[in-house]
Each structure stands twice: as structure tokens, then as C-alpha cells.
Amino acid sequence: MQPNADLAIDARGVDKQFGDLFAVAELDLQVQKGHIYGFLGPNGCGKSTTIRMLTGLLTPTRGEISVLGMAIPQQAEALRRRIGYMTQKFSLYEDLSVRENLQFIADIYGLGARESKRKIDELIDTYHLDAQRQQLAGTLSGGQKQRLGLACACINEPELLFLDEPTSAVDPQNRRDFWEQLFDLSERGTSILVTTHYMDEAQRCHQLAIMESGHIRAKGNPQALLEAMPLHVIEIAGHRLRQLKSHLSQFGEIPSTAQLGDRLRVLVDKQIADPIPWLLEKSRTMTGQPTPEPLSANQLSLVSPNLEDLFVSVTGKGLKTSREAEDVTG
């Protein structure tokens, strides 16, 4: 494959089979340099397997991968010096202090004494770990462990960072601060591939891919993906929402319903041009004890889709009709 200088990652037609299981199938993924690329998908859909192939830790069954212009896995050894990788689990030494963990990684990368001191001091300052400098890593809070994990992943000033669910154990404020740090890195030219289950994090990414059962089902700019979503989103306010949900779930044009407090969020196929009158009509056939009141127009409102709606629609959770993959670049 001819390397493209604008791309940090270029993967084409990549499969990974474990026995009969296609953990990753026909993966095409292009990540622009300097971008934060979000990788979403349900548990077990193949995200970690993809990252392990892109970093050269796993050999694909077929397909071509170029990362920072290098053929992977053939040039994985050279690539490792130019990337950082933070895994889901805290993979640092719990019985070493913050500074010792950083020193250990600096030694692995062969940084000289002066360079490693400069870099460790800078990272401890950037990731607000000064007060914990001598503290054993195993005794850090979730947020502090995560900042240390990122600091360690950045010790070699990587051009490309792989972050596998980096925020799974931290509170909203720490997640927010963490994302600000990712944008600082991105502004300085670092490309980032990050897996997440949080839709607010997905919203922040320059580009997104949503994976399901080893396949990428949608990819592109978050706003463009939302605009191209083939579903209306209607919120219904009222009572007996569980009964209403059960009634509406029988219609093939409604792939998903979910309750949010006193509202029911209903996804309706865009083949239905005018979803509010259509839902009103469907509500008239609702049965039960006591007999439910039909809905009235003032209970229904058409609202903007969010990434959770998109996720539900493309990963097939509750989806009754098959949908083709979307590829919306923007």
C-alpha cells in the first residue's frame, strides 16, 4: 500500500479471525494526522482487537495496515518508539511510586538521565501529579491513576496515541479535564485513536467509527452522522409510559424506545414522512387495563437526534429492520 502522508492510520480490508470467529471483518479505517478519532461499539465488538493489530501486537488474518507511514506488523518494532498506548486496565507498577513508574518507562525508551529528568518533571507538572510524586501508584485515586497512565504513554512524545477506554474509572470532572488534555496534545500535532462507551466523549471527537460484531457500521464526522441518521426522534410526555413502550415496540418502523424520566424517546424510521400523526394514529389501537387514553398532539415533540440514538440505530440494539452501513465523511 502506498503511504499517504496525511494519514496517521490507514487500514484496508483488515480481518482478524480467532478460529471461526471474525473478531474484526473488512476493516477500513483512515485517521487524519492531528485528529482525535473515536472508536465506539458494544462490548466484544472488536475494538481492542483492532487496536492490537494497529499497534503490531496482533497479526491480521488478511488486509493491509500502514501506521505513521510504516507497514504493520512488519515494521512494528520501529513503530513502537513513535506511539503511546494506554490500555483499559491500569498496567503500571502498583508498588512503584509515580516518579519511579515514569522513570521505568523512560529507561525502557532509553532516555538519558538529563532528558528523562526534564521529561518526568514536565509530565508530573502537566498531569498535576506533583503532590503524589513519591506516592505508590497502587494507592492513587482512579483519576490520578488515569493521569499517570497518560503521562507514561506520553513519555516518548508519541506522534500517535492509542487510548483503550481510558476514562472508564473516573468521574465526570476528571473525564472533562482528561479530554482537555487530549485536545492540548492534538493541538501540538499528536494523533489520537480513543475507544469509549461515553456518548459525550464521542461527541468531542473530530471523527468517529461505530463498530458492531467486528464490522464498522458507521463512520464520519459526528455532526454529519447525526444529520444522515435515517430515523426521526420523538419524545412523548405522559403517564403509563411502560404500557405505551410495550405497545409501540410491536411496530417494525420503531426500532427503539427508551424512557427518560417522564418522557418516552421513540425512534421512528424516516420512511414515515410525518411521524407525529402516524404515532397518534398508532396510539389509538393501544389496549390494556384500564383502557389507555389515546395520545394527544401536545404530548409529542420532534427532537434532535443525539449520538446515543445513532449508536442504538447502527448497532442494532432493539433494531428490527436491517440497515446498510453508513459512510458519511464530513
Ligand X SMILES: Nc1ncnc2c1ncn2[C@@H]1O[C@H](COP(=O)(O)OP(=O)(O)OP(=O)(O)O)[C@@H](O)[C@H]1O
Footprint of ligand X (CB under 6 A): 18, 21, 23, 41, 43-49
| Contact present, 79 and 55 (Cβ < 8 Å) | yes
When the beta carbons of 214 and 255 are compared against ligand X, the nearer one is 214
Q: How far is the CB of 11 from ligand X (least distance, A)?
A: 14
When the beta carbons of 25 and 105 are compared against ligand X, the nearer one is 25
Q: How far is the CB of 37 from ligand X (least distance, A)?
A: 15
Residues in the chain: 330
As a whole number of angstroms, the distance between CA 230 and CA 257 comes to: 15
The alpha carbon torsion through 249, 232, 241, 301 (nearest 10 deg) reads -160
Q: How far is the CB of 213 from ligand X (least distance, A)?
A: 9
- Indicate the helix (H) or strand (E) that contains 148: helix 142-153
Q: How far is the CB of 211 from ligand X (least distance, A)?
A: 7
What are the angstrom distances between the C-alpha of 177 and each of 34, 72, 125, 147, 326? 19, 33, 14, 10, 32
Tell me the three cell numbers of residue 311. Answer: 449508536
When the beta carbons of 28 and 122 are compared against ligand X, the nearer one is 28
When the beta carbons of 53 and 105 are compared against ligand X, the nearer one is 53
| Contact present, 87 and 168 (Cβ < 8 Å) | no
Q: How far is the CB of 149 from ligand X (least distance, A)?
A: 16
Tell me the three cell numbers of residue 162. Answer: 492509542
When the beta carbons of 149 and 275 are compared against ligand X, the nearer one is 149
**What φ, ψ does residue 126 adopt, rounded to 5°?**
-60, -40
SS3 state at 101: helix
- Longest CA span, the chain: 78
- Indicate the helix (H) or strand (E) that contains 37: strand 36-40
When the beta carbons of 177 and 308 are compared against ligand X, the nearer one is 308
When the beta carbons of 159 and 201 are compared against ligand X, the nearer one is 201
Q: How far is the CB of 206 from ligand X (least distance, A)?
A: 21
| Contact present, 87 and 140 (Cβ < 8 Å) | no
What type of residue sits at position 297?
Answer: A
Q: How far is the CB of 25 from ligand X (least distance, A)?
A: 11
